[in-house]
A and B are shown apart, each in its own frame.
Chain A
């Protein structure tokens, strides 16, 4: 158990719908990262938050948005879903300096 909690584990939804993925970081970790992993693909960086503020943005579509709340949990919102959005979405949390980034178990999103 990494200490990072992601919910739900699995999500099946229809095209055009909107979903929210949730991530609770490890206690004390201020940074949250979101990654998308499509089948047999690498970890595509989406966005990073640090202590409630957006810190870095990667290849995140305009249909996707995220935020980090005062209690440091984060949500990734995916809207107008397309078949190609089907993937594993990982969240990772990290402490300060060079601390290890811990990954949650991921949310597997299937768009049908």
Chain B
């Protein structure tokens, strides 16, 4: 099955700085890579996703890059704000009819220091 490794497990940055979280996956057939943000006591929510036919995707201060050859993808948050403080999870999945298992990394606790 798929295995997703995520680093670092904790990350502290000063407000306004950038934050980068990296993930690697093992299943070369995986082609969908979402990122979820989980605030304390709440449910995980999708913040951005990328598919294997794209190398980079950006949404305002958030961007995700994908290197299929190396089987790794990264989340970049620029101009961090205190409300970005949360746990971030990467995930990987195959796609196709019938749906497939969605495997998560262990999460990164991001703290943005005002």
Give me the interface of A with B, judged by CB distance under 8 Å: 2, 30-31, 33, 35, 41-43, 45, 48, 50, 55-56, 58, 90, 92, 94-98, 100-106
What are 6 contact pairs spanning A and B, CB under 8 A?
A42-B89, A48-B102, A55-B101, A58-B101, A98-B93, A105-B43
Contact B51 A98 (CB under 8 A): yes
Q: Which of chain B's residues has its CB closest to A4's CB?
A: B43
Please state if B101 and A48 are interface contacts (CB–CB under 8 Å).
yes
A31 CA to B93 CA in the complex, in Å? 13
Count residues of B near A (Cβ-Cβ below 8 Å): 27
Contacts of B93 in A (CB 8 A): 98
Instruction: Name which residue of chain B comes closest to A58, CB basis.
Output: B101
Give the docked Cα–Cα distance between A97 and B96 (Å). 5
Q: In this complex, which of B43, B45, B46 has the most chain A Cβ atoms within 10 angstroms of its Cβ?
A: B43
Residues of B contacting A42 with CB < 8 Å?
89, 104-107
Question: In the complex, how many angstroms separate the beta carbon of A85 from the nearest chain B beta carbon?
Answer: 19
State A106–B105 Cα separation when bound (angstroms). Answer: 19
Q: List 13 extra interface pairs beyond A48-B99, A55-B98, A103-B36, CB under 8 A.
A: A2-B43, A42-B107, A45-B101, A45-B102, A45-B104, A94-B102, A96-B98, A97-B97, A100-B34, A100-B46, A101-B34, A105-B43, A106-B43
